[in-house]
Amino acid sequence: MFSSDRMVKARIVELILMKKTDEAIKALSQHYSVDVPHLKVGMPKKHGKKAACYISKTKTIHVRSREKLEDPFVILHEFYHHLRTHDRKHRGTEKHANRFAEEFTEAFQTLHRYSFNVYYKHENSTI
């Protein structure tokens, strides 16, 4: 059956899909014992072409549009950067950030295999 860790991951994806991204970010921060990052719709100028980014200086996850707030892969990818940022330097590679996000979406998909059919877009090069 499901370990509690997978249940937590599936629940966080569910919250993001239900547009409760604030709640999901709080739950994630609590789970990993880190400060809650800020969430903002609108990109900083030099990151304008990306779908989302994480600015360590302000501890803010920026997303291009409200739609992106409801994309678990994007939110979890950026949260990984928050989790791995120390002394304002990014640690952890993009590959690790994608893998982190995938663990959550896979837990959700496995749990809901028979009741939901969710499609995730991977835009690895843009986040």
Which positions touch Zn ion (CB under 5 A)?
A: 94, 97, 127
Give least dist CB 17 to Zn ion, A.
21
The three-state secondary structure class of 55 is strand
Q: Which CB sits closer to Zn ion, 15 or 83?
A: 83
Give least dist CB 81 to Zn ion, A.
6
Give least dist CB 4 to Zn ion, A.
28
Q: Which CB sits closer to Zn ion, 63 or 97?
A: 97
Joined together, the tokens standing for residue 125 give: 């090069």
Query: With the CA atoms of 98, 101, 104 and 109 taken in that order, what torsion angle do they form, in degrees rounded to the nearest 10?
Result: -70
Give least dist CB 76 to Zn ion, A.
11
Count of CA atoms in the C-beta half-sphere (13 A) of 112: 18
The three-state secondary structure class of 12 is helix
Residue 39's closest CA among 16, 17, 18?
Answer: 16
Q: Which CB sits closer to Zn ion, 14 or 123?
A: 123
- Number of helices followed by number of strands (H, E) in the chain: 5, 3
